[in-house]
């Protein structure tokens, strides 16, 4: 890797991605297809290389948030079916059809507009109908008998509109990752989904694909796998929640690294960084590293987090800046300018997990991974060799 890139960079292991996919494939019911969710630039890991690897491993479908993300997959050579899980303006019906994307439909008005634009363009758009069984976000509401009955009639109408090709019916679980705490509610959502499916079948409407399992449900509820499962965060080796940490032997795919740009020894009583919040209580060896909140290492971790230097933990001291931060490396022998620093990941026998940093920041590992900034290049490793880079192009 060119030296100019070694300010802050993320190393993504495609070998670990492959390991995780195989664990997921082994955990899923044999008849269930795998929809690899690569939205948000593959949860911050970089969709180009991750999607290509997942396709080569046998992923059946890909899930994305929007049409821009779907187009990125096509542009990097992905020919698999792609489901857009979120909103696409109905005026994009022609683009959806020509690219072969499947669009989520979650309401009758939206279905009508999509149908109208499809007819105007002389195309047919593939759709998956989403029903809301308790998430309260997108979908035809079917949280009780009354709403399910009304929504079933609307779905039959929507799925029969000209210019639309109904492929699937799905829902999303709100608390599957809570394991025992979420078991009852997840079970209720699944029962509502099956009831809604039954109502539609009795009305003469069936679909080729029924799916509801996110990462947590895939691991915890094999009887809910149905025709397809939708793993997301676990593809990248991260548990959906602390309660699910030991469900599968996953391997985190990403490590974030930087270097020491300056070393200096400061006297007792020296203030470090903005606001003068931190003052040394002894002679201190301070290492400045060129990574900051613009790279996704947010200020909330100031004075809480640690990084790995020469295989030892060094605390972050003072406020984290936009592009830099400071470490106390007083207790670490042999530290030099230019030494590699592991922000999260492994160094020697020590490791810092994304979950650890997420706890300090009061958030979840999904957000921490997604926040790794776009100016941080992703370096892709396979069999111990760098095979490509995404970013800084």
The residues annotated as belonging to the active site are 39, 274
CB 255 within 8 A of CB 17: no
d(CA 224, CA 212): 7
User: Residue 210's beta-bridge partner residues?
Assistant: 169
Quote the tokens at residue 197.
Answer: 């499916």
DSSP string covering 15-80: HHHHHHHHHHHHHS-TT-EEEEE-HHHHHTT-HHHHHHHHHHHT--EEEESSHHHHHHHHHTT--S
The answer to whether 369 and 238 have CB atoms below 8 angstroms apart is yes
Whether 131 and 154 have beta carbons less than 8 Å apart is answered as: no
d(CA 57, CA 60): 9
Spatial separation of the C-alpha atoms in residues 2 and 250, rounded to whole Å: 31
Pairing mode, strands 82-84 and 61-64:
parallel
Compute φ and ψ for 269, nearest 5 degrees.
90, 5
Q: Which tokens sit at 362?
A: 């009061």
Helical (H) or strand (E) element with 209? strand 209-213
CA distances from 59 to 32, 50, 63, 128 (A): 11, 11, 11, 18
Helix (H) or strand (E) holding 70: helix 67-75
Measured from the Cβ of residue 22, the count of other Cβ atoms closer than 10 Å reads 12
Question: Do 171 and 132 form a contact (C-beta atoms < 8 A)?
Answer: yes
Q: What are phi and psi of 197, to 5 degrees?
A: -60, -45
Q: What would you measure as the largest C-alpha separation in the chain, in angstroms?
A: 79
DSSP 8-class letter at 363: S
What are 113's two structure tokens? 């507009």
Torsion on CA atoms 216, 222, 223, 224, rounded to nearest 10: 30
Look at strands 209-213 and 228-229 and give their pairing. Answer: parallel
């Amino acid at each position: 890797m060119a030296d100019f890139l070694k300010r802050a960079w993320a190393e993504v292991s495609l070998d670990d991605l492959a390991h995780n996919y195989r664990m997921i494939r082994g955990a899923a019911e044999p008849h269930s297809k795998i929809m690899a969710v690569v939205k948000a630039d593959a949860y911050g890991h970089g969709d180009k290389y991750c999607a290509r690897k997942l396709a080569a491993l046998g992923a059946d479908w890909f899930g994305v948030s929007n049409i821009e993300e779907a187009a990125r997959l096509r542009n990097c050579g992905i020919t698999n079916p792609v489901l857009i899980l979120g909103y696409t303006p109905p005026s994009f019906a022609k683009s959806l059809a020509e690219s072969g994307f499947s669009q989520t439909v979650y309401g009758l008005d939206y279905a009508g507009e999509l149908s109208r634009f499809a007819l105007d363009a002389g195309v047919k758009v593939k759709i998956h109908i989403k029903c809301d069984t308790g998430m309260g976000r997108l979908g035809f509401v079917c949280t009780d008998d009354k709403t399910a009955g009304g929504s079933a009639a609307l779905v039959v109408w929507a799925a029969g509109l000209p210019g639309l090709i109904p492929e699937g019916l799905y829902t999303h679980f709100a608390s599957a990752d809570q394991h025992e705490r979420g078991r009852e509610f997840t079970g209720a959502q699944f029962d509502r989904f099956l009831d809604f499916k039954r109502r539609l079948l009795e009305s003469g409407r069936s679909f080729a694909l029924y799916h509801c399992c996110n990462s947590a449900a895939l691991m915890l509820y094999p009887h809910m796998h149905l025709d397809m499962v939708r793993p997301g965060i676990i593809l990248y080796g991260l548990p959906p929640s602390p309660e699910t940490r030991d469900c599968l032997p996953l391997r985190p795919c990403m490590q974030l690294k930087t270097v020491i740009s300056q070393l200096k020894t400061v006297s007792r009583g020296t203030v470090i960084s903005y606001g003068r919040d931190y003052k040394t209580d002894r002679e201190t060896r301070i290492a400045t590293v060129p990574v900051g909140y613009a790279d996704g290492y947010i200020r909330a971790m100031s004075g809480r987090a640690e990084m790995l230097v020469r295989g030892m933990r060094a605390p972050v001291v003072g406020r984290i800046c936009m592009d830099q931060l400071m470490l106390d490396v007083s207790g670490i022998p042999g530290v030099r300018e230019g030494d590699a620093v592991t922000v999260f990941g492994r160094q020697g026998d020590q490791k810092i997990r994304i979950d650890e940093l997420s706890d300090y920041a009061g958030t979840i590992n999904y957000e921490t991974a997604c926040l790794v900034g776009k100016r941080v290049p992703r370096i892709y490793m396979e069999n111990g060799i760098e095979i490509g880079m995404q970013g800084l192009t």
